[in-house]
Structure 1
Amino acid sequence: MSPSFDCMDLEALTSNAKQIQDDVLKQILTLNANTEYLQRYLHGSSDKEHFKKNVPVITYEDVSPYIERVANGEPSNVITGNSITGFFLSSGTSGGKHKIFPMNNIFFENLLLYKALSSPFVSKYMDGAKREKEMMFGFTRPLSKTPSGLPVSGGVSSFLQSDYFKNQPSELYSSPIDVTLCPDNIHSMYCHLLCGLVQRNEITSMSAYFVSILVRAINFLETHWRELCSNTRYGHVSEWITDQKCRDSVTIILGGPNPELANFIEYECNKKSWQGIIRRLWPKVKFIDCVVTGSMTQYIPTLDFYSNKLPIYSVLYASSESIFGINVDPSSKLEDVSYTCLPNMSYFEFKQIDEENKDDIVDLVNVKLGCYYELLVTNYFGLHRYNIGDILQVTGFYNSTPQFRFIRRKETVLSIQTEITIEEHILKALYHATLVLESSNLMLMGNTCYEDISTNPGHYVFYWELNNKNIDGVELDNKVLVKCCCVMEESLSPLYKTFRSKDGSIGALEIRVVQQGTFDSLMDFFVSKGSSISQYKTPLCIKSSEALTVLEDKVLGRFFSDKCPPL
C-alpha cells in the first residue's frame, strides 16, 4: 500500500514532499486507527491534527509490550492493520540490547525502490565507466522464530534471504548467491574473497553495509591470502569449506587452475606494506559503497590506507524502523554527507533540540536550515511517533525536500559524575589521537570504551587495536600512547576537564592496547549472541560484562594520561 504517484521519479517525490507526507500519514492512520494501540488515542479518527495532538512521542520501551504480544501469537491488529510476516532484529551493538520490530514485504519493496532511485547518481558518479560487478560482502544468519512461529532476523540478513534479493540478476555480484546465504560467516567471508580475487578485473565497486565489515575483510585477507593463493593456483576450494552448495558454486567461479593469477596475488600480498592493497588487487574499482557516518568514521583512515583513498560513497540512511533517505551527491566529502529524505517511506516528524524550542515538533517540510532535530518515525508496521534516537542537522533542500546530515546518536556514551560525554566528543577525541598515531606510522584498527568505576576515582578506558603501516607487529611506544591519552582528554567537554582537573573526581584517561584480531573476536562474540554480521557496528561504548572479558583477555599494555587537561 503506497501513495498514488510515480514513486520511481525522485524529482516528483522531492517536489511534492508535503502532499506525499500527508498522503502517507492518511494511509497509515486509515490502516491503523482501529488497532488496540492507536484506539487509545484516536478513537477511530484518522485526522492528522488529532494524531499530532493526542498520540505521544515514544521510545522502544513504550511500544515493546505490544510488539511482544504479536510476537507471542496475538493478532497483528494489536498494533497494525497490516499483516506482520516477520520481525527485524536490531544489531544490539548501539544500545547494548536487541530490539525487534514488526515488518512485512513493503520494507523489501522500498529497499528495491531506494536502489532504483539511487542508481542514476551511482551511474553519474562512475563517469561513464561500465559498471561490471560489485564485490559485495553480504552475510546472513539462520532465521530464528518467535513463539508464534514468525521469522526474526536482522534487516539486511532478511533482505538477502528474501526473493527480492534472490531474483536479482546474478551477474551483478562477484559472489554467487550460495556464498551470501552460507550460514557460516567465516566460510562466507573466505569465499567472498576467493570469488573476488578470481574476478579481480571485472569488479568496479566494493560494498558492505558498514565500513567496519570492509576493514574486517582486509584483516581476513591478511590472515588467509596464502591459502587463497593455493586455491587459485590449483583451482580447488579448501576442504574446510563444507557447505556443498557454496563449494559447488565457487568451484564454477574458479574455473580450474590459475597459477598466473596466484603468482600475482602472492607478489602483491608479500610486499612489506599493504598500503593501497585494494587498488592493487582490484584495479577497476571506482568507489566503495558503505555507511561511514557516526561512530563508523573512526574506520575511514584505515580504509583510506588500504584503498589509497578510493572514493567512499555512503549512499543510504536507513534503520530497522524505516528507510529515510539517499545521498544524491556521491562526490561530497564524508564529513559533509547529507541524505535527501524520501517522503514516501514513512511519515517523518522532527523534534527541535535547542533549549528555546526543545518541545517543538514540526513536519518534514517545516524544518529550518541549520537547525538540529531528533527524528520521529511513524511507519506502516505499528510504530507511531517513534523516537529513533538520531540527531540530524538540516543542510539544504533538494526541490522542496530537506536534506539532513547525521550528527550523532542521542544517548550519552560515557559519564562518571554529572558530565555528559556524547558520541561527538569521543569521535573528536579519536580524530586528534589518530593524528598522533600517524606520526608513528600506526593505524587504529578498532576502538571501544567504557567507564571504569571499580577504581577511585572512576576513569574512562579506551580499548585500542593498532597496526603498523609498514611492518608486521606493533611496538608499543609509551611516549606516543601517553600523548594520545592527553590529546583525547583535551578534546572532551569542559565539565569533564573540570572534574578531572579541579577536584580530581575523575581519574586519568586510560588506553588499553589489545592484541591484533581482538576486535574480530569482539564481533564474533556479538554475532554469537544474535547480531547479524552484515549489520554489525563496533559498539562505541561497551555495556556487556561478557564483551569486556573478551577485550580484557587480550590486553597487551596500559597507558594513562600524565597531566590534567587545560580548562
Structure 2
Amino acid sequence: MPTIQEELDRRQLLYSLLMPVMNLYVPGMDKGKGLYFLFVKSETKTPGGLLARPVLTSYYKSDHFKTRPHDPYNVYTSPNEAILCPDSFHSMYTQMLCGLLEHKQVLRVGAVFASGLLRAIRFLQLNWAQLTHDIRTGTLNPKITNPSIQACMTRILKPDPNLADFIAAECSKDNWEGIITRIWPNTKYLDVIVTGAMAQYIPTLNHYSGGLPLACTMYASSECYFGLNLNPMCKPSEVSYTIMPNMAYFEFLPHKPNSIGATRPELVDLANVEVGKEYELVITTYAGLYRYRVGDILLVTGFHNSAPQFHFVRRKNVLLSIDSDKTDESELQRAVENASQLVLSEFNASVVEYTSYADTRTIPGHYVIYWELLLKDYSGESLSDEVMSRCCLAMEESLNSVYRQGRVADNSIGPLEIRVVKSGTFEELMDYSISRGASINQYKVPRCVSYTPIMELLDSRVVSAHFSKFLPHWTSERCR
C-alpha cells in the first residue's frame, strides 16, 4: 500500500491516545511496564526500486519508534535491539527473557494479534529450561548471536537463582492454566486484537490468562489507521471503534448481502451513517488511495458526541485466517484446482467436493481442507501419503504471499492439512443442512465451516489425514 513520511505523524497521533483512554479504566499504568511481543518482518524492493515492507515494520524502524521520548505509560520490557532484530527466534527469545527478568514490573501483556501472543506462550513452553538457565547463570544462550542483542543483554542480564527457581517451578507443571498471571502476577489485562477472525483465540487466551480482560484498543490496517476503542475494557463481542475523521476521508457503502443483481447503492458520508446498518468501508487517504474499498464490513452501533462508532463484523469474502493471512473463496478454489491439476491428474483422480476451516487448537494454527475424492483407477478412498502431501504443498504454493511468508519466515502458520473423507460424505452434509431448514433448491456446499455438529460429521468420515511436508516457495530480497 502506498504511504508517505507524513503518514507516520498521523498514525503516531492515534498511538498517543491509546494509554490516556486506557488510564481512565485501569489507573496506575505508569507504575510498571508492558510486555509486548513486537517483531519486524522481511523487506523487499519493487521492480521500480521502492521499499516494500509491512506497515508495522515501517513504524518500528522509523524514528517515531526508535527515538520516541520517554513516556511512563508506554515503557516496554523489550529493548529496541530485540524488537528490531530480523531473526524471529533471536527476537522472541530475547523479548521473552527480558519479560521474565522484570516479571513483577509487568502490568500488561500483549501482541498485535491474539495469535502472536499464543505463539509466545508456546515458545515459553518449549524454551523455559534454557531461559531459566540464562537467568540462573547470568549468561546469554549461545544461540543468540546477534551482536546488538548480545551487547544489550550484557548490560541487563545478571544471575538470579531465586527467579530462575520460581519460573522453573511454574513452567514444569503439567497444567498451564493461568500461566500468564502465575508468572506475571501484576498483569491487569491482555492487549491484543480479538475481533474478527481473531475471536477464535479467545477461549485459549482465557485459559492461559485465568480470564484476564482482553483489551482491543485500536482499529487499523495497512491502508490506513481508522480509530480507537473508547471503552477498551468491554467484552470482545461488544467492541466498537470510534472513527477518527482526521485519519483519512471516510465513506461507506451500504452492505446488502442478499441484494443479487441490484444496482450499487450510493456512498454515504461519515456523518450520515445510520445506527443498526452495515456498511463496507471506503477510504481516500493522504497517501494516494482514492475511494479504496478496504473490504471490512462494519455495523454502526452508536455515536460518541457526533462521531459514529462501528463494530467490526467481518472481512468481506474472507474464509480462512490464522494470523495476518486472509484467504477468500476464489483463492481457495484456485488452490484446490491447482493441486488437482498438478498432482491428482497423474493418478486419474479428482476432487468431488471440499470445504475448510482454520484449526487454532494447535500453536501455530493451520488450514484444514476436507476433500472427497473420485478415484477412477483405485478401489480405496485415498491415495498414498506421499501423493497427498504433494497436494498439500501444491495448495500452499497457490496461496498468497502473506500466507507463504507466515509459513516460511514467521512460523506463524502451521503446515496445511488435507483430510480425505469417505465417498458420499458431502451428500450427508447436504442432508443434514436440509434437515436443519436449508432449502434443497438453494443449498450450496459451504467452503468454510465452524458449526460444531458439521465438523463432527466431517471428522467422523475421515479416512486419512495428510500434511504438507515441505515449505512453500517464498523469498525476500533483503534491502541493504
TM score, norm. by length of structure 2? 0.70
Contact kept in structure 2, 1:156 and 1:535, CA below 8 Å: no
> 294, 304, 307: which one pairs with 1:401?
307
Other structure's SS at 2:140 match: coil
1:154-303 correspondence runs (5 A): 154-169=54-69, 172-254=75-157, 256-303=158-205
C-alpha distance in 1 between matches for 2:303 and 2:93? 43
Change (3 A) 1:228 1:413: same
C-alpha distance in 1 between matches for 2:28 and 2:164: 31
Shift of 1:250: 2.1
Distance 1:179-1:238 versus aligned 2 partners, 3 A rule: same
Cα drift, residue 208 of structure 1: 1.2
**Change in 2 beyond 3 A, CA 1:286/1:529:** same
SS in 2 for 1:374: strand
**Relative to structure 1, is the Cα distance of residues 162 and 232 closer, same or farther in structure 2, using a 3 angstrom cutoff?**
same
- Over residues 177-207 of structure 1, what are the superposed CA-to-partner deviations in whole Å (9 max), with x where a residue is unaligned? 1001111011100111000000001111112
Residue matched to 2:281: 375
Structure 1 segment 108-507 matched on structure 2, within 5 A = 108-128=8-28, 130-169=30-69, 172-254=75-157, 256-354=158-256, 355=259, 358-411=264-317, 413=319, 454=340, 455-462=350-357, 464=359, 466=361
Q: Deviations over 1:206-244 (max 9, x none)?
A: 121111100110111111011101011101111110111
Q: Aligned to 1:460, what secondary structure does the other structure show?
A: strand
Change in Cα spacing, 1:199 to 1:111, as seen in structure 2 (3 Å) is: same
In structure 2, relative to structure 1, the CA distance for the partners of 1:129 and 1:102 (3 Å cut) is closer
Report if aligned partners of 2:119, 2:412 keep a CA contact under 8 Å in 1: no
Q: Which residue of 1 aligns with 2:416?
A: 551
Aligned Cα RMSD in Å? 3.5
> More deviation in 304-313 or 356-365?
356-365
Aligned residue type for 1:111: R
| Alpha-carbon offset, residue 116 of structure 1 | 2.1
Alignment partners' CA distance in 1, 2:125 and 2:236? 27
SS class of match (2:2) = strand
Gaps of 5+ in 1: 1-100, 415-421, 426-447, 469-484, 490-517, 539-546
Pairwise CA distance, 1:381: 1.2
User: What's the offset of the Cα at 1:424?
Assistant: 12
> Does the 8 Å CA contact 2:406/2:412 hold for their aligned counterparts?
no
For the 8 Å contact 2:82–2:94, the answer to whether it is kept is yes
The alignment partner of 1:458 has SS state of strand
Could you say if the C-alpha distance between residues 183 and 129 of structure 1 is closer, same or farther in structure 2, counting changes exceeding 3 Å? closer
Cα distance in 2, alignment partners of residues 449 and 294 from structure 1: 22
SS of alignment partner, residue 320 of structure 1: coil
Task: Quote the Cα distance in structure 2 between the aligned partners of 1:535 and 1:397.
Answer: 39
SS at match of 2:319: coil
Contact persistence 2:317–2:328 (CA under 8 A):
no
Residue of structure 2 in register with 1:63 after alignment = none
For 2:44 and 2:170, locate their aligned partners in 1 and report how far apart those are by CA, in whole Å.
42
Task: Name the residue aligned to 1:74.
Answer: none
Change (3 A) 1:175 1:169: farther
Q: Which has the higher contact order (CA 8 A, sep 6+)?
A: 1
Letter in 2 for 1:337: V
Residues 152, 383 of structure 1: alpha-carbon distance in 2 compared, 3 angstrom cutoff: same
Tell me how far apart the structure 2 counterparts of residues 551 and 399 of structure 1 sit (CA, whole Å).
47
Q: Please state how far the C-alpha of 1:131 moved relative to its aligned partner.
A: 4.1
Shift of 1:176: 0.9
CA contact (8 A) 2:297 2:316 kept: yes
Q: Name the SS for the 1:328 alignment partner.
A: coil
Could you list the runs of 5+ residues in structure 2 that have no partner in the other structure? 321-325, 341-349, 371-391, 435-480
**Separation in structure 2 between the aligned mates of residue 180 and residue 393 of structure 1, nearest angstrom:** 35
The answer to whether the 8 Å contact 1:452/1:460 transfers is no
Q: 1:195 to 1:150 in 2, by over 3 A?
A: same
- The structural deviation recorded for 1:109 is 1.1
Q: Residues 532 and 327 of structure 1: is their aligned pair in 2 closer, same or farther, counting only changes over 3 Å?
A: farther
CA distance 1:122–1:244, change in 2 (3 Å): same
Q: Report if aligned partners of 1:139, 1:533 keep a CA contact under 8 Å in 2.
A: no
* CA displacement 1:61-97 (0-9 Å, x = unmatched): xxxxxxxxxxxxxxxxxxxxxxxxxxxxxxxxxxxxx
Distance 1:234 1:559 in 2: 53
SS of aligned partner of 2:288: coil
Structure 1: distance between partners of 2:77 and 2:120: 15
Which is further off, 367-376 or 119-128? 119-128
Q: Which amino acid aligns with 1:301?
A: P
The aligned residue for residue 347 of structure 2 is none
TM superposition shift of 1:533: 11
Tell me the TM-score normalized by structure 1: 0.60
Alpha-carbon distance, 1:291 to partner: 1.3
Q: C-alpha offsets along residues 444-482 of structure 1, whole Å, 9 cap, x if unaligned?
A: xxxx999856555312134636469xxxxxxxxxxxxxx
